[in-house]
Amino acid sequence: MKNFLKRGAAALSLVVAASQAVADAPPQGAPQLPQSLRGMIALAQSGLLPEYFSNDQFGTVQSRIADMRVTVASAHSPGAPQTGYKDGGRALVFPLSYMKILKDGKSALRFSLASTMTDGDPGQVEIDADIQRVDVQYLRFLSTGTMLSFGAFGELSKAEVIGAGDLERKGFGLRADLLHQISDHWGLAARAEFSFGQSKGALNTPFGLLTRSQGDDRLYLQALMVGQYRKADLAAVPQGWVLHPQIGLQFQRSFIEETTDSFGNVVSGAVGKTESYGTMIAKLRLQKEAGIGQWAPGMHIGLEHELVNDLDEYVDEPTYGLFGLTLSRQMSRNARLDVIYTLHHGLKGNRSHDTLVASLSFAF
């Protein structure tokens, strides 16, 4: 835990230093904005663009699935306890994003790097992990209210199961997104990606070191309806703030290759060759609208409920309360800093994850 905090503090200090350097840079000129930049501004005001940049739900789902896989595998071991399992932990995420506006004025290239460090809660199963992901995407603004993006990504995760062994997954894949303003008050943020992965593990057992390597692919789908209401639309909204109600679905299907481990056993996943996990999400996000150089605080609350979970044999936690705080600053027309804290807490108290994100985004 101490090492986790030291690494997090060091990385956060780099983010703050970089943000101050950008904030102190000389002001840019003010040429006519191309459609791509006007689209970014409009989609940001509608609440859709933040969902495109956010990996909160995606990352939380990956963490849950990893915890549940290890829990099920541990409980299936000879002589292992069959009750009393809980899981959860903390994550520090540091995304860096650079967007290059292309000459046609209607498209852009986005390059992003995200580094995640997780620290699992002590318990019968405890997992610490480091995760790296790189994305390259092409964005096309069909109008100021519609954006399509397509791209590729690579990812690497290394995890330590405390007292038991090590796990690793390498993957690459394709991702597509759609942001579309449907009406004055509502829009759609949709995401689909497929990852081709290879995982391997080395776990200590009473009979020696157990190793295996296998294909580990996944399909991830997410769709959110995002609203926008200001004081003129809803009297309860404070002046200068915007309320973003959200409702949506997330679904993941994992495909685990059948393989032979070092003990000669033919195995696939913890519960078979496929795993499904899906949830429904409802949130209210309240955000202050601020100009360049001003801080914009915000918060969100909500609920998340599991619709399908093939890995829930030992941890019963179908419903989560969501709570989050944000602090953002548009440092210039080209640069933005976001600091976001989010808690996903199971209402039965059997699973909880909290995440702190400090991200820098640039557009030129």
Determine the average pLDDT of the residues in 185-208: 94
Tokens 């399908």 correspond to 308
Q: Phi and psi (nearest 5°) for 139?
A: -110, 135
Q: Give dist(CA 296, CA 287) in Å, integer.
A: 7
Across the chain, mean pLDDT equals 90
Tokens 């044999």 correspond to 313
**pLDDT digit string (tens) for 203-212?**
888 888 889 9
Report whether pLDDT(4) > 80. Answer: no
Q: Give dist(CA 41, CA 181) in Å, integer.
A: 13
CA end-to-end span of the chain, whole Å? 38
Least confident window among 4-13, 136-145, 233-242: 4-13
pLDDT-derived band at 232, boundaries 50, 70, 90 = very high
Residue 242 has what pLDDT? 98
Determine the average pLDDT of the residues in 214-228: 98
- String of b and e for 176-205 (b: at least 16 CB within 10 Å)? ebbbbbeeeebbbbbbebbbebebebbbee
Determine the average pLDDT of the residues in 290-319: 96
| Residue type at position 19 | S
| Closest-CA residue to 322 (of 1, 54, 38, 13) | 54
Report whether pLDDT(12) > 50. Answer: no
Q: What is the 3-state secondary structure (H, E, C) of the chain?
A: CHHHHHHHHHHHHHHHHHHHHHHCCCCCCCCCCCHHHHHHHHHHHCCHHHHHHCCHHHHHHHHHHHHHHHHHHHHCCCCCCCCCCCEEEEEEEEEEEEEEECCCCCEEEEEEEEEEEEEECCCCCCEEEEEEEEEEEEEEEEECCEEEEEEEEEEEEEEEECCCEEEEEEEEEEEEEEEEECCCCEEEEEEEEEEEEEEEEEEEECCEEEEEEEEEEEEEEEEEEEECECCCCCCCCCCCEEEEEEEEEEEEEEEECCEECCCCCEECCCCCCEEEEEEEEEEEEEEECCCCCCEEEEEEEEEEEEEEECCCCCCCCCEEEEEEEEEEEECCCCEEEEEEEEEEEECCCCEEEEEEEEEEEEEC
**pLDDT digit string (tens) for 95-121?**
999 999 999 999 999 999 999 999 999
Residue 17 has what pLDDT? 39
Determine the average pLDDT of the residues in 231-249: 97
Report whether pLDDT(5) > 90. Answer: no
C-alpha triplet 39, 44, 46: angle, nearest 5°: 100
- Both tokens assigned to 69: 């896989």
- Per-domain residue ranges of the chain: 2-363
What's the chain's Rg over C-alpha atoms?
21
2-363, superfamily in CATH?
A: Autotransporter beta-domain (2.40.128.130)
